[in-house]
Structure 1
Amino acid sequence: MPSTAPRLIRSARLLDAAEARIASEFTAPPPPQNALTTEALLALAHEYLPAAMIVTHTTPLRAADVAALPDCVKMVATVSVGLDHLDLAALHARGITVSNTPDVLTDCNADLSMMLILAASRRAAEYFTLVKTGWTRPLGLSDMLGQRVTGKRLGIVGMGRIGQAVARRARGFDMDILYHNRSRLPPELEAGATYYATLEDMLPHCDILTLHAPAQSSGAPLMDARTLALLPRGAVLVNAARGKLVDEAALIDALRSGHLAGAGLDVYQHEPDPNPTLVGLPNVFTTPHTGSATVETRTAMCMLALDNVAAFAAGQTMPSPVKA
């Protein structure tokens, strides 16, 4: 590698293709065997004195952590779209450039959302449990009936890249697309979807509701007892965006009462230790925050993080900077 190769550390081992690139294009210590704690990452930064750090959501950098970074650190590249684990204000106040990895995970997140929609509507968790624990008699005509997805009204909260990708997939099931967004999309992106300026106006019309919005700045859940009650009885809720968007106590009540027929969840208020009552409900289909968990997407995310580091080191425009 050239003597001017950018000097970096990472909080976790990246995928093989990205590790091979690090070995050939960057100056870096061996990858950690296990994801580093924030404390271990800070210690490594002081030992190795890198110009850039690559982190994931498992290694948060809060204000006190940012203050403890050595002055040599000029950039933090996170292998994620979400930034909840970073104190952006503290990083930018120290003049540290930040990048993330948007766009490359849009399709896989949309694919997972459709899986959650189908699984929650068709009672996949209950079917799986029945077969695995002992399916001993044929099901009658009225036993364990799910809900058809084809032709249903799908409400999308947050019509950004992922929301639009979900809408494209849902049209393959002849679903009517409704959406609520901070602003209305132009007609070519709306593609016939029905826009609602307020969430409250849209919810009564949704057979299935899928969330693709960032967490609210206030920290309050978007879907609480009041907003869940606005959904039609028998509706299905899907959340593959942020756990903070849903009041889980209210969701449990809605699922137990039958107001909601089911839920498909990839994210939770508390990770990696979600509410056992919630995930134990038979009408909840769960995945462990794996929206981007494919070889193709995770590799692309790692490579984009390295693209950002390389561009920053060369004084070039980064592909995906996070603005102050």
Structure 2
Amino acid sequence: MSGKLKVFVTARLPAVAVNILRERFDVSMWDSENDIPKDILLEKSRGKDGLLCLLTNKIDKKVLDEAGKQLRVVSTMSVGLDHIDLNECKARGIKVGYTPDILTSATAELGVGLLLATSRRIVEGTNAAKNGSWGTWKPMWLCGPSLEGSTVGFFGLGRIGLAILQRLKPFGVKCFKYNTLNEKTKEFETEHGVTYATFNDLLATSDFLISCSSLTSATKNIFNKEAFDMMKSTSIFINIARGGVVMQDDLCQALIDGKIRAAGLDVTTPEPLPTDHPLFQLPNCVITPHIGSATDETRTAMAVLAARNLLAGLENAPMPSPYEL
């Protein structure tokens, strides 16, 4: 019988990451990219010293109870921690590791991609070319707003928001604004060429509004009918952070009524969004399936960091990226 500590990995990860764990621990893994069913997650967590999980795995009190008192580390291959009962982990002395920073560039790239896809109506254009709607040249057909000379607003301006801002500067954006819980320093604003705005001002003046905010009690459903009513009818809304900051029915109605021009979403509520959801029927809404970090390099690096967090936590060494409970 192995005397090694036991860990469970909740999805098939790159071998380079799994091998880090196999060198030291008794590793079992859900060998699939499909979500592990909850009953199997409970079963496989039983008696484990460490868990390496994904954003889609709900690590709640039930899982922690099933794992047992010897569970010492939960390492997630994500920045978000909404899926982990952090209060329970803290109460039980369970260390938590996560993977911030690594996905910043990849997520920023997708944010810019969604902004361009909506403003330049790329999906509509692709569909027109495929379905025979591409006729003779028309002066204003499939036109959209330009980034050049525009005002871009950020709701939340952390690592990812700043990375998007830097990538948009070469487009000739006239003004960058932001709204966060805590106003940044003047030195920060000068360094990055950005100006603080109240939430209402951000809504009213942004040509492009990008949500990069975490989901908290203060931000939940903050983009609702009242918010969309305050936005320009020509504005475009992008959400790459958390679906829960948006009241989706209100967004759908705002797009139908022309309260805003278009939306690009990489996050929704729920995920996956049912294929019959009304948002999928709207030509002015582009939805991607939460692929912000989906580059080969980024996902592999996230898996490796998650493995190293688990390794360090179980060996009582400093985690490369701990979440402070």
TM-score (ref. length: structure 1)? 0.92
Query: 1:184, CA displacement in angstroms?
Result: 2.4
Q: Give the Cα separation in 1 of the matches to 2:182 and 2:131.
A: 48
Other-structure match for 1:294: 295
- Alpha-carbon deviations, 1:289-312, whole Å to 9, x = none? 000111111111111111111221
Residue by residue, what CA displacement relative to the aligned partner does 1:20-53 show, whole Å, maximum 9, x if unpaired? 333334331355235422321221232xx33111
Q: CA deviation at 1:216?
A: 2.9
Q: Structure 1, residues 229-282: CA drift from partner, whole Å, max 9, x if none?
A: 111121000001111111111111211122211111111111112461012200
Q: Helix, strand or coil: the match of 1:185?
A: coil
Moved more, 88-97 or 22-31: 22-31
Question: 1:154 maps to what in 2?
Answer: 152
Bigger shift: 131-140 or 298-307? 131-140
**SS of equivalent residue, structure 1 residue 68:** helix
- Which one-letter code corresponds to 1:173 in the other structure? F
Q: Paired residue for 2:176?
A: 177
Which residue of 2 is the match for residue 229 of structure 1?
A: 229
Query: 5+ unaligned residues in a row in structure 1: which ranges?
Result: none
Normalised to the residue count of structure 2, the TM-score between the two structures is 0.92
Between the aligned partners of 2:247 and 2:15, the Cα distance in structure 1 is 38
Counterpart in the other structure of 1:103: 101
- Give the secondary-structure state (helix, strand or coil) at the position aligned to 2:71: coil
How far apart are the structure 2 equivalents of 1:299 and 1:21? 13
In structure 2, the partner of 1:19 is 18
Q: Does residue 127 of the first structure (1) align with residue 125 of the second (2)? A: yes
**1:78 & 1:289 partners in 2: Cα distance?**
16
Shift in CA distance, 64/21, structure 1 to aligned 2, threshold 3 Å? closer
Structure 2 matches for 1:58-137, cutoff 5 A? 58-137=56-135
Unaligned runs of 5+ in 2: none
1:246 aligns with 2:246: yes
Match of 1:315 in 2: 316
Dislocated runs of 4+, deviation >4 Å? 3-6
Verify the 8 A CA contact 2:45 2:66 in the aligned structure 1: no
Q: How many Å apart are 1:6 and its aligned residue?
A: 4.9
Q: 1:298 corresponds to which letter in structure 2?
A: R
| CA distance 1:151–1:45, change in 2 (3 Å) | same
Residue aligned with 1:260, SS: coil
Percentage identity across paired residues of the two chains: 33
The 10-residue stretch of structure 1 (261-270 or 183-192) with the greater mean CA deviation from structure 2? 183-192
In the alignment, what sits opposite 1:212? 212
Describe the shift of the 1:90–1:135 C-alpha distance in structure 2 as closer, same or farther (beyond 3 A): same
Amino acid at match of 1:309: L
Please state whether the residue corresponding to 1:320 is helix, strand or coil.
coil
User: 1:219: how far off?
Assistant: 6.8
Equivalenced residues, count: 319
Cα distance in 1 for partners of 2:35, 2:270 equals: 19
Q: Within 2, Cα distance between the matches of 1:68 and 1:28?
A: 18
SS at the partner of 1:102? coil
AA aligned opposite 2:305: L
Structure 2 vs 1, CA of residues 257 and 121 (structure 1 numbering), >3 Å: closer, same or farther? same
Q: C-alpha displacement at 1:146, in angstroms? A: 1.4
CA contact (8 A) 2:9 2:29 kept: no
Distance 1:30 1:142, change over 3 A: closer
**RMSD of aligned alpha carbons:** 1.9
Contact 2:45/2:63 (8 A) holds in 1 = no
